[in-house]
Amino acid sequence: MAYSKGEKYDEKTTEGLIKTYRESISLLGEDPEREGLQKTPERVAKAMQFLTQGYQMDANAILNSAKFHEEVSEMIIVKDIELYSMCEHHMLPFYGKAHVAYIPNGYITGLSKIARVVDVYSRRLQVQERLTHQILNSIKETLNPLGVAVVIEASHLCMMMRGVQKQNSVTTTSAFWGEFEKNETRSEFVKLISSRLH
């Protein structure tokens, strides 16, 4: 699958979602023909396609689009990557930051591509645990590095707005592979993502 940029909306999908959201608004007790709601089903249909566009994207193709041979074997970290995703259990957002590192084994990729990989998997109906491992596995499979590390810190609106209603909770997930399974390398990574060097 080729990698391309830009927002795209499938006409058939949009039409189906518009109908569904119009019915949902009515079932919730509102009038979908009220002035303020007339265009809401279309807006939500397009918003949901944007928020789940990761299904139409290939993370490995993105990494391969800027893959370069380079004799570097030191840790490369892209930290504080903003992420926005949708909890698959309640379809409410969760948001936060991803910190991603890898140790090259002959190949590097463009730094922006790491952030795009985070977007590919976060722009889907997700759980944070799976998201963490999907990012790691894509980098592992495509670049064949010596090691990969991913840490995600996120706040979940399904916990903040409903259910337990805890506004200040943050969920942290991590995945380590290869050299990062060694305590010394993992500790260096955690220390670097925790510091403020800039």
Catalytic residues: 87-90, 128, 156, 158
C-beta atoms surrounding 58 within 10 Å: 15
Taking CA atoms, 147 is separated from 36, 127, 173, in Å, by 52, 23, 17
Q: How far is 168 from 17, CA to CA, in rounded Å?
A: 33
Cα–Cα distance list, 7 to 4, 14, 66, 112, 154 (Å): 10, 13, 21, 18, 25
Structure tokens at 42: 């279309």
DSSP string, 114-156: HHHHHHHHHSSEE-HHHHHHHHHHHHHHHH--SEEEEEEEEEE
